[in-house]
Amino acid sequence: MTMLLRLSPVVLAFFLQAPAVEPGFTSLFNGKDFTGWTISNEASFSIEEGAIKANGSPGHAYYTGDFRKHSFRNFELKVDVMTRPNSNGGIYVLTEYQEKGWPSKGFEVQVNNTFEKDWRKTGSLYQVDDVKEQLAPDNEWFTEHIIVKGDTITVRVNDKPAVEWTQPADWEGPKGSPGRRIAPGTIALQAHDAGSTVYYRNIRIKPLD
């Protein structure tokens, strides 16, 4: 206990709030290294006290591990997230690895509590079903819970409903983004810019098929 009291508040929070994986879920991140992940911009990602830290020029960490051959169609995904003030990030689902650029396949679930340059808040299904209300604070862990089942994507933030969107039969994606459609794919975590710092941990998934 004496040692813990000497730690900074941020590091102490990591120790005292060690997360658990719920029954039926499988962890995709071991909390120690990037085993099972492929990074498109390694300079923007590091591991800090059991979490993936995203800070730097744009890039993404893609899950490319063995579980379900990193291809998911119907599932529940839970990710614990913490943002620093004025930070932007994102969790992609149904996507695939790209060496450069924003992922063209799948959907981004927004991470943005107080980022001033984008009004789309945490929980938004980016440019598809956007949220204006701030649902989580900075400097505290919160959970984004993403469910993809059939043609419906549901997003909850700390158990608060954010999005429930059903893909129309004639859906062609937002303008200029035909790859934004429901199809099997993997998970990716976003580093948005050098001024944004976002932590991701306890990344776990429960297949529904």
Give the H/E segment covering residue 166. strand 160-166
187 in any annotated domain: yes
**φ/ψ of residue 14, rounded to 5:** -60, -45
Q: pLDDT tens per residue, the chain (209 residues)?
A: 444 445 455 444 444 455 689 999 999 999 999 999 999 999 999 999 999 999 999 999 999 999 999 999 999 999 999 999 999 999 999 999 999 999 999 999 999 999 999 999 999 999 999 999 999 999 999 999 999 999 999 999 999 999 999 999 999 999 889 999 999 999 999 999 999 999 999 999 999 99
**φ/ψ of residue 74, rounded to 5:** -115, 120
Q: Give the predicted TM-score (pTM) of the model.
A: 0.91
9 in any annotated domain: no
145 in any annotated domain: yes
62 in any annotated domain: yes
Q: Which two tokens stand for residue 64?
A: 């490319």
56: left (phi over 0), alpha (psi -120 to 50) or beta: left
**Range of the structural domain that residue 90 is part of:** 35-207
26 in any annotated domain: no
Could you give the C-alpha distances from 205 to 21, 50, 77, 208, in angstroms and in order?
9, 18, 4, 10
Please choose, from the candidates 109, 117, 126, the residue with its C-alpha nearest in 3D space to the C-alpha of residue 188: 109
Check residue 20 and give its pLDDT. Answer: 80
6 in any annotated domain: no
1 in any annotated domain: no
**What CATH number is associated with residue 105?**
2.60.120.560
28 in any annotated domain: no
Number of domains in the chain: 1
